[in-house]
Structure 1
Amino acid sequence: MKVDDDAADAVLNRLRRAQGQLSGVIAMIESGRDCKDVVTQLAAVSKALDRAGFKIVASGMRQCVNDSGENQAPMTEEELERLFLALA
């Protein structure tokens, strides 16, 4: 999937942030940190991943419709809806 450069930069930044936060969650669990701290950090990871997914969908929806691949037909409205709702 090719996403425009600005969107790709934003998505990659969010994913890198989520990656760092997830590493933090793992370390917190391994060290026996307080549940509240772990859940707060886990929520931040989830939000970063959601935002990255929504950015990809928002910027790449047209590509998904028109450029499904050489051997595939363009996606139907139903398939697009399922793809979008997979992030919900």
Structure 2
Amino acid sequence: MIESEILDGRIELRRSDDEKKPLLQRLSRIEGQVRGLQNMIAENRYCLDEVQQINAITAALREVALLIISQHVTAGVKLAIAENDTEIAVDDLIRVLRAAMRTANHG
């Protein structure tokens, strides 16, 4: 279970190594995809192949964002229940979701 607390009106997560592992693994795969895209561009590959690689990278990043949001929402709900105070947790969750929606709309 991810440890968390509210600091300065924000939910702060402290992930264990096991909780970080799937995020870091996904990011490593994305890093490989980006290197692959760099090679494709350097080799003057067909534009459609490059664009498809960009779409794959974008989708993978969205999945990482969803995992992070899921962890944040879970921690926020647990904190709100434990502290019997929902206002700060809900405000922070809304702030994170707004930022995620801005990112999704620009992607």
Please list every run of 5 or more consecutive structure 2 residues that lacks an aligned counterpart in the other structure. Answer: 1-12, 80-86
Q: Contact 2:72–2:93 (CA<8 Å) still a contact in 1?
A: no
In the TM superposition, residue 50 of structure 1 has moved relative to its aligned partner by 0.9
Please list every run of 5 or more consecutive structure 1 residues that lacks an aligned counterpart in the other structure. Answer: 67-73
Q: Which residue of 2 aligns with 1:83?
A: 96
Structure with the larger strand share: 2
Q: Any idea what the Cα deviations from partners look like across 1:3-59, whole Å, max 9, x if unmatched?
A: 355542221111111110011111111221111100111111111111111101101
Asked whether 1:15 is paired with 2:27, we answer yes
Give the RMSD, CA atoms, in angstroms: 2.6
Name the stretch that deviates more: 3-12 or 16-25. 3-12
Over alpha carbons, which structure has the higher Rg? 2
Q: Give the letter for the 1:77 counterpart.
A: V
Asked whether 1:2 is paired with 2:38, we answer no
Aligned length: 81
Q: Percent identity?
A: 30
Distance 1:75 1:14 in 2: 30
